[in-house]
Structure 1
Amino acid sequence: MILRKGFLRRKFETALIRLAIAILMGRNMTRSLVVSRRDNNDMWYMAEQLDDIAKRISKNYT
């Protein structure tokens, strides 16, 4: 059961977002033959944005 609010929920959501960041950046590290350069760049940019969001969630939007 996931809590609706509070410290544990923020940390859990942050962990999930950081997992998504790891997937996006890991995919970008090795040049994939099936992903275009533009898509690689977009994934890197999305990962940076997700990192900012994770930081704000973790600090309770202070």
Structure 2
Amino acid sequence: MKRFIRRKFEAWLILLAAKILEGRNVHRSPVVSRRDNNKMYGMAEELEDIAGRINNKYK
């Protein structure tokens, strides 16, 4: 049971990080370059994939 809770919590934290990065994706940002903006969007997708694999015990 402890591993189940830990796995779900870690997946939730990774999804939270993905949401933060995804929220930064804007068309024109005066602070973030277009290249970095695109990378952050890609990172968000990768983090969501990782969280899904953690939730499913890498099946």
TM, length-normalised to structure 1: 0.85
**Residue matched to 1:16:** 13
Q: What is the CA distance between 1:31 and its match in structure 2?
A: 3.6
| 2:29 alignment partner, SS class | coil
What are the residue-to-residue correspondences of 1:1-62 with 2, within 5 Å? 6-29=3-26, 31-62=28-59
RMSD over equivalenced CA pairs, Å: 1.3
Count the aligned residue pairs: 58
Q: % of aligned pairs identical?
A: 64
Structure 1 unaligned residues grouped into runs of 5+: none
Gaps of 5+ in 2: none
SS of the residue corresponding to residue 20 of structure 1 reads: helix
TM-score norm. by structure 2 comes to 0.89
After TM superposition, give the deviation of residue 30 of structure 1 in Å: 6.0
